[in-house]
Structure 1
Amino acid sequence: MIQFGTNPIAWANDDDQTIGADIPTARILTEAGQLIGFDGIENGHRWPQDDPEALRALLAQHGMQFISGWYSTELLTRSVAEEITAVQGHLAKLKHNGCKVCIVCECSNTVHGNPEVAVNDRPRLTAAEMVSFGAKMETFAAYLASEGIILAYHHHMGTVVESPADIDAFMAATGPATYLLFDAGHCAFGGGDPVSVLRKHIARVAHFHAKNIRADVTARVRTEGMSFLAGVLAGAFTVPGDQDGAIDFGPLLTILAENDYDGWIVIEAEQDPHLRNPLLYQTLGLHTLKRIARETGLIPA
């Protein structure tokens, strides 16, 4: 079943919590749930973090499910056993809320949350380092699978898995327990053609982020040596359906339909909420995705 969700970073950013800090949590929930009509929402710093039932109840009051949440691995600097210990609280939250996937990204050396570092200066792995990293990630993924949760790895700007070549190398270095969170916006920003990358890896895609980009802004981020967060504030990302957006979601949803994708489609698109009203942009994004999903046969017409 296809379900449509959002992420609270459209209202209140997690990497820079000053962005949207004045927006009440109740407004986020009301707009996402009752006014826009999303089926679910991903994790954010405003939600209860240590009480899975309080989280479930809070979202249920607004007609939404808890989809999943970002988990930062540090497998480049700690053992798989240490990672398994570290994930227990997050895992309990996922299991209590009936989540199917755990969104994972290696953050031991990421620069995406540092406003002082250009995203161009991200960390990179050698071929040998990627093989070693992939082996550890696969072992961690196998553990999550034994707990009934699929590891969905989020390729992301400013990290060791950013470019199409990184994605290819990572997927080759991991095995059948490791799946991909495909993010259209991060793929394009990272230098990839979203259609080609999705088609290549669709058999192992377990989660889909429908993030759009403003290509003129992402180009500026590169040429001017901007940080990831500076790019966000400049408007690098937007939603499906925005006339300023560079990504055509029709071919992407066609690939999902042709391959019987069964899961969430999430509008995870952080912008400055004071310049771009989340209620308006998220409504546009959801209406656009549902229209395309009907046209492509991903959901019933």
Structure 2
Amino acid sequence: MSIVVAGAPVSFGVFELTPTSGDLVLPTADEVVAVLERTGYSGVDLGPVGFLGRGQELRERLDRHGLELAGGWIDLPFSDDAAFARALPSLDDALDVFSEVLEAAPSKLPLPTLADSGDAIRKANPRGGAGHGLDEAGWDRFAKNLATAAARVRARGLEPTFHHHACTFVETPHEIDAYLDASDVGLTFDTGHMLIGGGDPLEAWRRWRDRINHLHIKDVHTAVLADVLAEGGGMIDVWSSGSFVPLGEGDLDVEAMMSEVVDSGFDGWLVIEQDVYPQPGDDPARLERDHRVNREALRRWL
């Protein structure tokens, strides 16, 4: 068994939906990787394509800080044929970055992390999209297009993984079952999004363990989350509410979850995430404190 712990730019407020207000002060790529090095991480997720650099710049940045690339988010509209075709260049662009990292001969290969884009209704309605989901024809399109994307990943010598995620068509336990029936791609298991989607992380881990090839660990204040959902909030509201908290400060049973992960023989990347939606006046020092808390929370096992 070989579990390697990584961090992620999203835990610093840097991700595809980061607001562009001029009042925000966001960390640079060098500041992100320096914090991860100081707080004991061995890898980092890609974040928005280009944030950590590309090619030699990316390889040298990772090498300076003793980090390897764990994975990286690539969302695609799998159930919409025309939109999927238009989005394929973005997949190829991200895969170019992954391919460039392989030149450094990493000890553990990164996993391009595919996800569904959802639609406007799902984006506005966490936990099942107000009953708005894929019909049989939609799942057929989903499966066909996911197979196309997976083939592109595998042609680069990499193995894909698929991230269930709030406000997409693969969010609830029922939808994850449907996805697993429709594809041979492994599952990125995310404890936080499992809680948002209405599932029990420990039960779900046991249920899908044989298909899980990537792990995201995050903690959630479920009472805060419930308030957001009760008020009709979308995913931006969930992020902005502070629902995601340092490990051990929310409602994830970290001890039971990590004991189960280790005892199950999981072998792969474990990415610690604490999704942050940045706002003016954020304390930069808190990010480093939270990263240290999150890493130390898993020292008993890793």
**Same fold judged by TM-score > 0.5?**
yes
Q: CA deviation at 1:83?
A: 5.8
CA RMSD of aligned residues (A): 2.6
Tell me the residue number matched to 2:298. Answer: 289
Q: CA deviation at 1:111?
A: 6.2
What secondary structure sits across from 1:104 in the alignment? strand
For 1:58, the aligned partner's letter is R
For 1:8, the aligned partner's letter is P
Tell me the residue number matched to 2:46. Answer: 43
Aligned counterparts, 1:1-301, within 5 A: 1-14=2-15, 15-18=17-20, 21-25=24-28, 26-33=30-37, 35-45=38-48, 47-48=50-51, 51-78=54-81, 85-98=89-102, 99-107=109-117, 109=119, 117-119=124-126, 121=129, 124-175=133-184, 178-242=185-249, 245-272=250-277, 274=282, 277-291=286-300, 293=301, 299=302
Contact 1:213–1:237 (CA under 8 A) maintained in structure 2? yes
2-side partners of 1:149 and 1:50: how far apart?
20
Change in Cα spacing, 1:50 to 1:16, as seen in structure 2 (3 Å) is closer
Change in Cα spacing, 1:241 to 1:39, as seen in structure 2 (3 Å) is same
Identity %: 24
Structure 1: gaps of 5 or more residues? 294-298
Change in Cα spacing, 1:91 to 1:234, as seen in structure 2 (3 Å) is same
What secondary structure sits across from 2:267 in the alignment? coil
Contact 1:183–1:211 (CA under 8 A) maintained in structure 2? yes
- TM, length-normalised to structure 1: 0.84
Q: Out of 186-195 and 38-47, give the one that drifted further.
A: 38-47
Change in Cα spacing, 1:60 to 1:260, as seen in structure 2 (3 Å) is same
Q: CA deviation at 1:280?
A: 1.2
Change in Cα spacing, 1:27 to 1:195, as seen in structure 2 (3 Å) is same
- TM, length-normalised to structure 2: 0.84
Change in Cα spacing, 1:110 to 1:30, as seen in structure 2 (3 Å) is farther
1-side partners of 2:145 and 2:55: how far apart?
28
2-side partners of 1:55 and 1:21: how far apart?
24
1-side partners of 2:229 and 2:136: how far apart?
24
